[in-house]
Chains A and B, each alone.
Chain A
Amino acid sequence: MHYLDWIILVGVMAWIVWDGLRRTKGRDKLEGYFLANRSIPWWAAGLSVMATQLSAITMIGTTGQGYTDGMRLVQLYYGLPLAMVILSMTLVPFFYRAKVYTAYEYLERRFDPKTRSLTSLLFLLQRGMSCGVIISAPAVVMSLILGLDVTATAFLIGLPAIVYTVFGGVQAVTWTDVKIMVLIIGGLLVTVLLLIMGLPDQIGFSGAMHLAGVTGRLQPIDFKWDPKQTYTFWSGLIGGTFLMLSYFGCDQSQVQRYLTADSLHSARHSLLMSAYWKIPLQVLVLLVGILVYGFYIFTPPPMLFNAVHEREVQQSARAADYSALQGKFDAAIATRRQAAETTAIDWQNGAGRDSEAAFLSADAELKRIRGEAVAIVKDVSGDSNYNDVNYVFPTFLTTYLPVGLVGLMMVAIILAATDSIAAELNSLSTATVIDFYKRYWEVEATDAHYLNVSKLATAFWGIFASIVAIWASELGSLIEVVNRFGSFFYGSILGVFMLAIMWPRANGTGAFVALIAGIAIVALVATTGIAFLWLNVVGAVAVFVIGAIISELTGPRRVPKP
């Protein structure tokens, strides 16, 4: 990167941290530190909700997905608007009126302490580990792009988050989220514009989109009914609704964003902002990936997007094979470009679609050659899971964007990880202090005492996440187990909340036993190879049904009145 880009990157990061801390008020009380004294306007809480969900993995992974697979992934979000409406009508008013700090606190008021502690513990376990992944996944990619050590990059991502979350609390997190969202959306829009300008004049936006369509990249809706296919209209609409209900309604990292809103009306509006804008935002991110694909049809791409692995191969015993493959790749690029031009111009002139077959064949040949190159890397590196799709977007940015804009986009990607990690640290600290420390350890203490403990808890989770991130490769299988375990209980926790609201005679024993049974059932169903989105439906329904039956058998419990 050019030194000007570095100045921009460091400058923007410093400004974001400083301004986040400067805007923080009333953080000397626990409610100020964790809930911003319930003073955040709806639009800021709404942007914070969206920023927490949009991490660096979205910026580099989703654009990569758009490049290779097109629009298909957007179907994951088809249930989100419906989930937001349901939550605004049900859980949000319950949380807001109950004046809780955590979603799990509500479960003790409705059921008993053990149900609250178990759900909160599951949250801490899964989120604590995923925090490490939120840092490590982009750190690995960005370290190569920035030419830094992985540990240094992990600190570049994690340290600002730890600093402004420890000292600024939730207000710093929210106001930083707002700025980062503006930066990310602005950056993506400018990138789309530059990509369109980078296409040949006779092809333009419509020609590039047609070529993407011919290769099957424009399939935003797939009505096929196949429970084993990850992204279909049905899995997105039904499974996605349950996933989003669970994520936005039962996950403290999201619930805390809208609990900071200045009224129940604002809390609802902050969620509805996602309902209106999440799908268009995901379309924008995927469109960037699709346009990068179109751009690289007419501007030769590298055979491998991970330059470090390419150098390793060139210095290995298989350098000659790789070099021969590079010759074939260059020839195939020229053939595909020729076929693409004919296809796009024929389509624009209404001259029939006969040339599409030649373009598809050239595209398939290029894919085959790239597959051979990837196989050589796997052979040389010994990494059987090697995949360079996450390097596509950052490579494009650093190669073709003008100086200054590269720095802005790099800082946008890094800050996308930073703001997600900050929200996670803030919520992990809240659950630790409110659900465990204040509940079991120091029940009666001053606000100043709890505030100090909260800062320590935030710092602890920050250090924990950094250690997980740095040792991510060694902890690989453990992280995978925890994440897999997390997908088992996501729907199940939603089932507990459904039970709390929809089954008036449900009791603590029913909820607690059903939660454990639900997780076990989901783990069992997962072995059938069913797509993960459906696991949320299975978990929620299983917990609800089992909980209702056990509650009926063990005697009704009167619903507490205000």
Chain B
Amino acid sequence: MTSDQPDQEERDAPPIRHHYVLVIVVQVLTLTSLWFLARMFR
């Protein structure tokens, strides 16, 4: 059956939300770096 409730193992797992924020921050930094590098060489 489908379940939208986390099980015990999931509740005991280390937190992951900070990774979600980090992914977006890294993405913004990557794109900004790419844009600056491209400008630098143009």
**Interface of A toward B, CB cutoff 8 Å:** 71, 74, 78, 81-82, 84-85, 88-89, 93-94, 97-98, 106, 109-110, 206, 209-210, 212-214, 218-221, 263-265, 268-269, 272, 275-276, 279-280, 283, 560-562
Contact = CB atoms under 8 A, between A and B. Distances in A.
B34 A283 contact: yes
A88 B17 CA distance: 10
A358 B10 CA distance: 63
B26 A85 contact: no
A263 B10 CA distance: 8
A228 B10 CA distance: 44
8 contacts: A81-B24, A109-B1, A210-B42, A214-B42, A220-B35, A263-B13, A269-B19, A275-B27
B27 to A, nearest CB: 4
A562 B35 CA distance: 48
Interface in B4-39: 4-7, 9-10, 13-14, 16, 19-20, 23-24, 26-27, 30-31, 34-35, 37-38
Contacts, number: 90
Contacts of B2: 94, 97-98, 106, 109-110, 560, 562
B38 A218 contact: yes
B25 to A, nearest CB: 10
- The 6 A-B pairs at the shortest CB distance, nearest first, are namely A562-B3, A213-B42, A265-B13, A218-B38, A209-B41, A213-B41
B23 A71 contact: no
Interface residues of B, number: 26
Contacts of B41: 206, 209-210, 212-213, 218
A221 B16 contact: no
A264 B13 contact: yes
A314 B30 CA distance: 47
B20 A560 contact: no
B16 A265 contact: yes
A275 B35 contact: no
Nearest to B15: A265
A263 B9 CA distance: 8
A459 B31 CA distance: 43
A219 B34 CA distance: 9
Contacts of A276: 23, 26
Contacts of A71: 34, 38
Contact of A218 (B9, B16, B26, B42): B42
Nearest to B13: A265
Nearest to A264: B10
Contacts of A279: 27, 30
A155 to B, nearest CB: 40
